[in-house]
Structure 1
Amino acid sequence: MRAIGDLASFMLSSRFQASLRSSAEFAAQAATTGLASDKARHLGGATMAASLLDRKAVLLEQHQRGIAEAALFAGATQSILGRIQDQTEGLTKNFALVSQLTHGSDFKTLSNSASEVFIDTVNALNSEIAGRHLFSGTDTQTSPLPDGAAVLDRLRSDVAGASSAQDLMNAIDTWFDAPGGVFETDAYQGSQTGFMTLPLSNSDTATFGLRADDDTLRDTLKALAKASLAADDGLGLAASEQAKLLRQGHFELVQSDRNLTEERAILGLTEAMIDATRIATESDLARIASDRLSLIGIDQFEAASEFEAAQQQLEVFYRIAARQSRSSLAEYLR
Structure 2
Amino acid sequence: MTVTSTGDLSQHFLTLRRTMQVKQRLDTLGQELASGRVSDVALHLGGEAARLAHIEHRSELIGGHISANRETSEYLAQMQVSLGNLEHRRGELAGQILSLPINITDVQREDIATAAVVTFEAMVGDLNFRVADRALFAGAATEGQALADAEDMLASLSAAVAGVTTSDQLKDAVDAWFNDPAGGFETMGYLGDTGDYVERPLGDGTKAKIAVRADDAEYRQLLAAVATAAVLDGGVPGLNAGEANDAVKEAGARLLSAAQPLSLSRGSLGRTESMVEAATTRQGAEQTSLGILRNDMISTDPFEVATELKEVQNQLEMNYMLTARLSGLSMAEYMR
- Normalised to the residue count of structure 1, the TM-score between the two structures is 0.80
Equivalent position to 2:219, from 217, 220, 227: 217
Match of 1:52 among 46, 51, 54: 54
For 1:155-234, list aligned pairs within 5 A.
Answer: 155-234=157-236
Which residues of 2 match residues 96-111 of structure 1 at below 5 A?
96-111=98-113
Of 54-63 and 156-165, deviating more is 156-165
Measured against aligned partners, the alpha-carbon deviations of 1:110-157 in whole angstroms (never above 9, x if no partner) come to: 111111111110111111112221111111112111122222122223
Greater displacement, 201-210 / 293-302: 293-302
Once the two structures are TM-superposed, the CA of residue 172 in structure 1 deviates from its matched residue by 1.0
The answer to whether the aligner puts 1:91 opposite 2:93 as a matched pair is yes
Residues 45 and 170 of structure 1, relative CA distance in 2, 3 Å threshold: same
Provide the rounded CA distance (Å) in 2 between the counterparts of 1:25 and 1:214. Answer: 65
Q: For 1:1-334, what aligned pairs fall within 5 Å after superposition? A: 28=31, 31-32=34-35, 34-235=36-237, 237-300=239-302
Aligned residues of 1:119 and 1:149 also touching (Cα < 8 A): yes
Cα gap change, 1:235 to 1:29, in 2 (>3 Å): farther
Q: Which amino acid aligns with 1:89?
A: G
Residue 146 of structure 1 aligns to a residue in which SS?
coil
**In 2: Cα distance, 1:184 partner to 1:94 partner:** 30
Greater Cα offset, 207-216 or 22-31: 22-31
Q: Cα gap change, 1:113/1:26 in structure 2, threshold over 3 Å: closer, same or farther?
A: farther
Deviation at 1:245, TM superposition (A): 0.8
2:34 maps to amino acid: A
Query: Measured at CA, do residues 304 and 228 of structure 1 come closer, stay the same or move farther in structure 2, by a change above 3 Å?
Result: farther
Partners of 1:83 and 1:305 lie apart in 2 by: 65
- Range moving further from structure 2, 54-63 or 140-149: 140-149
User: Is 1:137–1:211's contact at 8 Å kept on the other side of the alignment?
Assistant: yes
Displacement of 1:274 after TM fit? 1.4
SS of the residue aligned with 2:225? helix
Query: C-alpha separation between the residues in 2 aligned to 1:152 and 1:305?
Result: 82
The CA distance in 2 between the partners of 1:23 and 1:255, in whole Å, is 79
SS in 2 for 1:201: coil
Distance change in 2, residues 1:226/1:29 (3 Å): farther
Task: Measure the CA separation in 2 of the matches of 1:307 and 1:239.
Answer: 97
Amino acid at match of 2:173: A
Structure 2 CA distance for aligned equivalents of residues 269 and 284 of structure 1: 23
Deviation at 1:225, TM superposition (A): 0.3
The range that moved more, 192-201 or 75-84, is: 192-201
Give RMSD over aligned pairs. Answer: 2.8
Unmatched 5+ residue regions in structure 1?
A: 1-8, 314-334
Taking the aligned partners of 2:184 and 2:26, their CA distance within structure 1 comes to 73
Task: Name the amino acid aligned to 1:254.
Answer: L
Higher radius of gyration, 1 or 2: 2
**Residue 290 of structure 1: CA displacement?**
1.4
| Stretch of structure 1 that moved more, 67-76 or 198-207 | 198-207
Distance in 2 (CA, whole Å) between partners of 1:23 and 1:66 is: 44
Aligned-pair identity in percent equals: 27
User: How many angstroms apart in 2 are the aligned matches of 1:243 and 1:307?
Assistant: 92
State the Cα distance separating 1:300 from its structure 2 match.
4.8
CA contact (8 A) 1:28 1:304 kept: no
Deviations 1:46-69 (A, max 9, x none): 312111111110111011111101
Per the TM alignment, residue 306 of structure 1 is displaced from its structure 2 partner at its CA by 8.9
State the shift of 1:80 in Å. 0.3
Q: Is the 8 A contact 1:92 1:254 kept in 2?
A: yes
Aligned to 1:317: none
SS in 1 for 2:200: strand
- Give the distance between the partners of 1:238 and 1:29, measured in 2 at CA: 89
Structure 1 window deviating more from structure 2 (283-292 vs 192-201): it is 192-201
Count of residues in correspondence between the two structures: 296
Using the alignment, how far apart are the partners of 1:147 and 1:28 within structure 2?
64
Cα pair 1:27 1:307 within 8 Å, conserved? yes
